[in-house]
Structures are given as C-alpha cells and as structure tokens.
Amino acid sequence: MSQRTYPVTMPKWGIEMQEGTITQWHATPGQPVAKGDALLDVETEKIVNSVEAPVAGTLRRILADTGATAAVGALIAVFAAPDVAESEVDAFIAGFRPADTTFEPDAATTGSAAPAAVAPVPAAAPAPTEGKGETRVSPIARRLAERLGVDVTRIKGTGSHGRVSKEDVEAYAAAMQGGPAATTSAAAGTAPVREKMTSMRATIARRLLESKLSIPHYRLAVDVELTALLGRRAQLNAGGGNKISVNDLLVRACALALVKHSSVNAQLHGDEVVKFPHADICIAVASDNGLVTPVVRAADTKSTAQIATEVADLAERARNGRLTRDEITGGTFTISNLGMFGVDRFDAIINPPQVAILAVGAGSDRVVARNGQSTVAQVATLTLSCDHRVVDGAAGAQFLATLRGLVERPDTL
C-alpha cells in the first residue's frame, strides 16, 4: 500500500478508555487538511477532546459519522494524496487491521504511549485467539467479574469476536440486581423512550456502580450556622470583581481543613494510601451529559476571590464539554452542593480513588439555641461520606469539626 495513504483511528486517552463517540467532524471528504488543523471532536468519559491532524493531506473517506461510537484503534477515516486512486483507498480500508489496544491498569507503568490519531497503517496481524469454546474475556473484565461474583460464562460479549468487556460485566451485574423490568405504559397509549447512554453517562454509571459495590461507605453529618459566612461573603463582594458564592467560601474552608487532616485529603491505590500536601478539590457540576467534576488545584494556596474566578471558568467549560483531561483528573476530595435546588440534605457517593466527599444541603432558617435563648439562624447540613478503609470515624469527625469552625468563624477565609 502507498505510504501516502494514512488511517485516522479512534485515539486513546487515559488508561480506562475503550471507545469514543464522534460529536463533530470539522472537515468533509475531499477537503485538504493542514497539519495541526482540528479534524474532529470525540467524547469520552466526561470530556470532549479535539483531534488534530498530525499530517497534511486530503480527507478521502469518513467511515464513522457524527454520533457514531467506535472502539479505540478502529478506523474512522482515511487520508490520502489527491492522486491516490479510489480503488487504492478501497483496498487500504479492506486491508486495515487495528492495533491491539487491550491493556490492564498496570499498563500505565510500562511507559507505552497512546497511539496517535493519524499514523501510518500498521502491518496486518491475525486476531488473538483463545481456546475453542472458551469465553473471551478481557483481563479487566475478568477481575471485575470476580469482585462482583459474576459468572462470565453467562455473559454475552459485545466486543470484537464476542469478547466480554468490563462494560458487559457491569451491565450484567446491574441487570441481576435490578429485578423484573417495569411494566410499560403501552396500555395507556404511550410508549417508553429508549436512549443509548452517551460515553460520558456510561462512564459515570460504571464508576458509581464500582464505588457503591466496592467501597465501605459511612456518613457523618453536622449542622452549621451560615450567618457569619454570609456576612463574610457580603464583605468580600462589596469590593467588586467577580461575585463570590457560598460554595466558593466552602471550597476555601474545605481546603484549609483538608491540609490539617491528611487522612481525608487522600487517595487509595490498591493497598497504598497516598496523602497529599495540598488540597486539589473537585467541584461537582451538572451538565446535559451528566455530572462533571473539574478540579481546583492547590485550593489551600488560593484566596477566595481566586477560587471564585477559577470555579466560574471551570463550571462554564464543564457545561460546554470543553474541559481537558488534566482538569478533571487527580482530585483529592470532592464537594457536591445541591443547596441551590432546595435539597436540605443528601448522601453523596465517593469518587474513587478519593476517600471522601462532602454533600452540601440548602441553607434555611432554623431555630437554634444560643446562650440559653432560642433564636433563628441560617443553618445548612453538611454530610461527609467516608471510605472506612482509610478514614476512621474519629478522623472524619475531626475534619468536620475543623470545617465547621472555619465556616462559623470565617475571618480567615
């Protein structure tokens, strides 16, 4: 085949990525494309990434249209010089064999790089085979099935040659727990609406299921008075600039509390607890495609005004699906605030490998006792979900005590 013909394959970003959904093509067949031009947008997990063309050429074929989902390494388009015959492009497509992209989490330590979006076509190689009659299962899926107590021989694989993926295991486990299907409303003259999960939504579902099944959650709740915090907010906003929210002040307070309680500001990797000197706080942001958690890095080193500016920018780009992978990975703690929706209190699910998450309820007028007298104050409930493997009850309670003190006496925020 001509070296002037190149495949465009579904790129691989991150250890866990197995497929991506094309959200937009920026070029059409027959269009010349310069090196570095934006070629297409791909949605994977919680972000949309732009794929640039690393070579100059003419886009001859698009094999996966907008909205299509393709496995990592799958051929999605072909570049070729204008004088390459259509028959040669057809032969190129027919003879293309994707590289083996199956790997385990440990592969991150091998030093192997992610494949480029556009690269010379690899030599054809026969697909790996397993014993006759043996269920084809990816290593990740096999370990997940063992952890969930699922018999992989009962699962119908949706991968190449019927290979069972971890998504297949998760779907099977969820179906086994869900029980009988709900009665449809067809008799009432309406039909149910079926929508395929986006890559982002499917990833969220998988991670929440794994977190719920594998992490021993427990919760601690405290009521905190917001009167002083609201006064501090008004004081800071009187100076002009970007408006500071209660949530911005809570991020600052959590950051200061986290650096004092290292067992809460931590991640769990296998049997190792990793504690961090700075608080990288994830902010839960609702988007049309699901929950996104951009990270405010080293929030303990930033002023409340700096945090407010950064959170506003991250939240806006989160809703538009324009965050980078670095901006949504590596957090040490998460804050989920549903107070603006009028929710009084709730429990949040831990975002692994983190070991804790704070759920913030709405502030409301409540009767409180102060100096032996009843009075009305703005009070909110904060609920801390902890991973009992890392955060003991006393450690979680001490963190909440520190946080409560900062919120109710916010002069340092």
Rounded distance, CA 46 to CA 32, Å? 31
Closest CA to 46 of 345, 255, 266, 328: 328
Neighbours of 239 (CB within 10 A): 8
What's CA 298's distance to the chain center, in Å?
Answer: 20
Q: Is 329 buried (19+), middle (13-18) or exposed (0-12) by CB count in 10 A?
A: middle
- 388 catalytic? Reply is yes
Report the relative pairing of strands 333-337 and 356-360 from DSSP bridges. parallel
Do the Cβ atoms of 308 and 244 come closer than 8 Å? yes
DSSP states of 99-115 as a string? ------GGGGGTTPPPP
Task: Report residue 266: phi and psi, to 5°.
Answer: -150, 170
Q: Which of 161, 261, 269, 388 is an active site residue?
A: 388
Determine contact, residues 351/211, Cβ cutoff 8 Å: yes
Give the integer Cα–Cα distance in Å for 147 and 144.
5
Query: Would you name the residues annotated as active-site residues?
Result: 388
